[in-house]
Chains A and B, each alone.
Chain A
């Protein structure tokens, strides 16, 4: 089977940098995605890593280490609007490459 672990909650202050970790166990790993979900809203795609290394998209970066089965999402210059839940998801070759989601990390940004 597949499993993902991420912290349940992270708090930070506006303007700071925060890292949300994700470790996974899966067979035939294909890629790691990150999604953001504001309270009551639909999840929206942030980033996708298929290869080791860092992917940067504006204030958000995502990192993957396939050998460690580990990734993280880095949020810089935090803003109040970044308060949301963040989910990592793996896409594996077991089955039909269907995304499996972690439980999510609730990020609370304080002024």
Chain B
């Protein structure tokens, strides 16, 4: 049972380069999220999706884009990488917001450095 899978695990980008962080889940979850985590800080929501074809901005969306063409996949796109985007990125998914015991499942993270 794979759960939430993120690729790549590590990446170094040069300023101005672009890349896509991949995220896929095999639990048939409707909700998917992208968070970033800076050292010593909590998780900040970048974008989220409540189902295929529906995405919305979170707390820190600037410099990022997402798409959700299928239930399984939720890629995060960085168009023009900046040093401020150096962070650890986590993708997560959950079944729905109405479950009483709503658990979000996280991927192992992508460690991105922009130089």
Contact = CB atoms under 8 A, between A and B. Distances in A.
User: Do A and B come together as binding partners?
Assistant: yes
A96 B106 contact: no
B51 to A, nearest CB: 11
Nearest to B88: A40
A45 B44 CA distance: 17
A98 B33 contact: yes
B101 interface: yes
Interface string A39-51: 0111111001010
Nearest to B106: A42
Interface size class on chain B is 20 to 34
A104 B108 CA distance: 18
B58 A98 contact: yes
B107 A42 contact: yes
A103 B41 contact: yes
B97 A43 contact: no
Nearest to A4: B42
> Which of the four size classes fits the interface of chain A?
20 to 34
B97 A44 contact: no
B58 A42 contact: no
B100 A42 contact: no
Contacts of B107: 42
10 contacts: A31-B100, A40-B109, A42-B106, A44-B106, A91-B102, A96-B97, A98-B33, A98-B97, A100-B59, A102-B42
Given A96-B48, A96-B50, A97-B97, 5 more contacts: A35-B104, A50-B100, A97-B98, A100-B45, A103-B40
Interface of A: 4, 8, 30-31, 33, 35, 40-45, 48, 50, 87, 91, 96-104
Interface of B: 31, 33, 35, 40-45, 48, 50, 56, 58-59, 90, 92, 97-98, 100-109
